[in-house]
């Protein structure tokens, strides 16, 4: 099979995915039956230009991470996912690599919690997918590229998050994340990605380098269940944050909730409304 088969397969699968199946509005003037290129690119965390080159056969060697992201965004079956990897020149990842696949059961969880902020991370703490409610609360994640999607990078090198923490809470969080990355590197010795992330972090962060050399695999300190989020439009919101580990697939599902009937619940709902309004002009342009 030649490179054109990869592009044709992606286009055909893109055409069959209904927008509402991935949480996007269809819109009254929409002509495309499936996903537009910019929509699939946003869901997969890649640029529209790169997706265009893939579909046109002008880019012939997508990485394993890009192929996995496309398979996830396109809602491919196990057989289709394996075919996509083969068309891209890769073997479908097995148990020796850090899992980056959103399983059907986790996808159903995301679909049913569409009004609750939810994000899914792999074992390296790289963001796999976040729903619209999470983006409305924490800021758009669809523009994050490459290592920008890694939580350690964002805390230790990049712009951080909207979560407010004391210096001690921040130090404990950093130690837990580094310990988790070390544990992941040990658990998947055949996968170079955890150590590649560690090298990139060590080159930019003395704090990471020091923790990598000294922190234990179980650094101690409990992760606070309640978090304060500083939203630019709504203000301070206090929420419960639960991180659920999907053991068999080694995923971390982060869920933010508020006690019903509270001011925080009202503010959380408002972030969703404001987030939808912020995206409305862009969606109107796309639907023309």
Whether 188 shows a pLDDT value over 60: the answer reads yes
Q: The whole model's pTM is what? A: 0.73
Query: Domain 3-92, what fold?
Result: 434 Repressor (Amino-terminal Domain) (1.10.260)
- What tokens appear for 91 in the block? 């073997």
The mean of the pLDDT values for the chain is 86
Confidence of residue 206 (pLDDT cuts 50, 70, 90): very high
What's 104-279's CATH class?
alpha beta
Q: Report the DSSP pairing between strands 118-121 and 127-130.
A: antiparallel
Helices and strands, counts by H and E, the chain: 12, 6
Domains of the chain, by residue range, sit at 3-92, 104-279
Residue 257 — left, alpha, or beta (φ > 0 → left; ψ -120 to 50 → alpha)? beta
Whether 288 shows a pLDDT value over 60: the answer reads no
Residue written as token pair 């909207």: 162
Supply the pLDDT for residue 1.
34
For the purposes of burial, counting CB atoms within 10 Å of the CB of 143, is it exposed (0-12), middle (13-18) or buried (19 or more)? exposed
């Amino acid at each position: 099979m030649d490179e054109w088969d990869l592009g044709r397969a992606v286009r055909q699968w893109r055409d069959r995915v209904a927008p509402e199946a991935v949480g996007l509005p269809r819109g009254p003037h929409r002509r495309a039956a499936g996903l537009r290129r910019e929509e699939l690119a946003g869901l997969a965390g890649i640029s529209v230009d790169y997706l265009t080159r893939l579909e046109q056969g002008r880019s012939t060697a997508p990485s394993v991470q890009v192929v996995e992201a496309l398979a996830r965004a396109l809602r491919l079956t196990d057989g289709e996912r394996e075919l996509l990897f083969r068309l891209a020149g890769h073997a479908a990842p097995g148990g020796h690599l850090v899992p980056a696949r959103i399983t059907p059961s986790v996808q159903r969880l995301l679909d049913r919690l569409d009004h609750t902020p939810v994000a899914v991370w792999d074992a390296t703490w790289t963001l796999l997918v976040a729903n619209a409610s999470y983006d409305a609360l924490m800021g758009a994640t669809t523009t994050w590229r490459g290592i920008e999607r890694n939580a350690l990078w964002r805390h230790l090198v990049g712009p951080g998050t909207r979560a407010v923490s004391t210096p001690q809470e921040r130090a404990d969080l950093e130690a837990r994340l580094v310990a988790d990355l070390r544990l992941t590197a040990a658990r998947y010795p055949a996968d170079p990605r955890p150590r590649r992330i560690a090298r990139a972090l060590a080159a930019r962060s003395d704090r990471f380098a020091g923790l990598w050399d000294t922190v234990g695999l179980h650094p101690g300190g409990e992760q606070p269940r309640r978090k304060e989020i500083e939203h630019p439009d709504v203000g301070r919101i206090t929420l419960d944050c639960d991180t659920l580990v999907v053991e068999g697939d080694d995923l971390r599902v982060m869920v933010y909730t508020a006690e019903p009937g509270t001011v925080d619940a009202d503010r959380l709902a408002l972030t969703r409304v404001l987030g939808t309004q912020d995206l409305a002009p862009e969606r109107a342009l796309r639907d023309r």
